[in-house]
Structure 1
Amino acid sequence: MARTPAPGTRRRILEASAKLFGEQGVRAVGMQQVIDATGVGKSLLYREFASKDELIAAWLRDSDAQWWEQAEQVTAPHSGDPARQILALMEFFQDSVREPDFHGCIYYNTSSEFRDPAHPGREEAKLHLKGLRNWWRDKGAQAGAEDPDALADTLMLIVGGTLANGEVLGAAGPARMALATTELVLRQYCPKALTAATI
């Protein structure tokens, strides 16, 4: 008789995978490590996730949902002020680099581990980063940027540089300039929206 998964099994697997993938990198973690970390049987793990690729994609989708919830929390207090929301989200990125368990961005990291554009992990990472770029663009347009696409691309460069440098050189390195650089960029693209009272 097939074993029925206990309530919360899928969540337990995803949480254990998130810890392992985040600390060691996706390629370095085997399914047996996930089994050992969760205490579920092999057949139960593969009933929830038919392959490691499927687990990777599910983990990134789950992480994406959680990330956007956090993004909403840090930007919601500035509703109606898109320029300040942009600054708040960049401050969130800068703060994340200061976390003791920061090992880089899981989306950039996963994308670099899987070069095949069709790999589920790379596809999910790309979706997340595209979603972030769209958020920057939309907020920039709301803030009056004449070229919101250029603003979004510039902010993506700041984010990528912050996360990459933060992982290698720490929060006291170039990553510390993320928020100040974003303010300069906003003054260039949205001069009417960013006032002394906004900062």
Structure 2
Amino acid sequence: MADEANVDPGSFGAARDAAEPGRRRAETAPRAGERVRAAARELFYRRGIRAVGVDEIVAKAGVTKPSLYRGFASKDALAVACLEDFDAAFHARLDAGLAAHPGDLRAGLLAFLTGLGERTARPDYRGCGLSNALVEHPEPDHPARLTALAHKRGVRARLTGISAGLGARDPEALGDGLLLLIEGTFTSGQIFGAGGPARALAAAASALIAAATAPGPAVGDG
């Protein structure tokens, strides 16, 4: 049986189209859009947004250009959608780490960071797709840059909130320290791969958390 992921929705049988045109439009348009989005995510992550053209995306997705443009007004719009997917995936992984240790915020955060460090050992690891997009798009008003910036600001705010929940004396300082460790992991993972410094992410974060949450001197102590 043919792999449906490689079939152009426009090539489905004319008899079915004539008998159920509404059903065909309702079912194939979303499937085509998802194939385009999945293909673009993989290509953009592996090679970068600017290096990948629309022709390559539709070829990988097995759809036509009109199918792509029915779902996305432009390549930039498709890039934004993919970056939003990367954002959702990051937060889903963080949520999963926290959920694995209910009532223990520190253990949940470290579980997430352990997983992040382990992912850098994959041979296909290319860092953070959103960080990569920021490097690729220095133009301050580019949609991809604005989307990636919104993600980074959201992550920074979330880490500050987690740091407050951990009882940090200065939640913003701890949150920024954790963010620096995470961003460094994205980069070092691409440089060194398995066995590189990214494997120390969770241990470094644990030490940082311990220092940031240790009791300080009482007021008046000299």
Partner of 2:44: 21
Cα distance between partner residues in 1 of 2:160 and 2:102: 16
The amino acid across from 1:161 in the alignment is G
Cα distance between partner residues in 2 of 1:142 and 1:74: 15
Secondary structure of the residue that 2:113 maps to in structure 1?
A: helix
Partner of 1:53: 76
Please, which runs of 5 or more residues in structure 2 have no aligned partner? 1-23, 216-222
Cα distance between partner residues in 2 of 1:191 and 1:82: 16
Please, which runs of 5 or more residues in structure 1 have no aligned partner? 193-199
Please report the TM-score for the alignment, with normalisation by the length of structure 1.
Answer: 0.90
Give matches, 1:22-171, under 5 Å: 22-171=45-194
Residue deviations 1:9-47 (CA, integer Å, cap 9, x gap): 211111100111111111100011011111211112111
Partner of 1:176: 199
Residue deviations 1:115-151 (CA, integer Å, cap 9, x gap): 0121111111112112221221111101110100000
Deviation at 1:169, TM superposition (A): 1.3
Aligned residues: 191
The amino acid across from 2:109 in the alignment is I
The amino acid across from 1:95 in the alignment is E
Residue deviations 1:54-102 (CA, integer Å, cap 9, x gap): 0000111122223322221222021222222221221121122122321
Cα distance between partner residues in 2 of 1:171 and 1:127: 30
Greater relative contact order structure (CA < 8 Å, 6+ sep): 1
Q: Is the 8 A contact 2:97 2:109 kept in 1?
A: no
Q: Is the 8 A contact 1:12 1:38 kept in 2?
A: yes
Name the larger-Rg structure.
2
Cα distance between partner residues in 1 of 2:93 and 2:189: 20
Cα distance between partner residues in 2 of 1:8 and 1:47: 12
Residue deviations 1:98-117 (CA, integer Å, cap 9, x gap): 22321111011011000012
The amino acid across from 1:128 in the alignment is H
Moved over 3 A (4+): 3-7
Please report the TM-score for the alignment, with normalisation by the length of structure 2.
Answer: 0.81
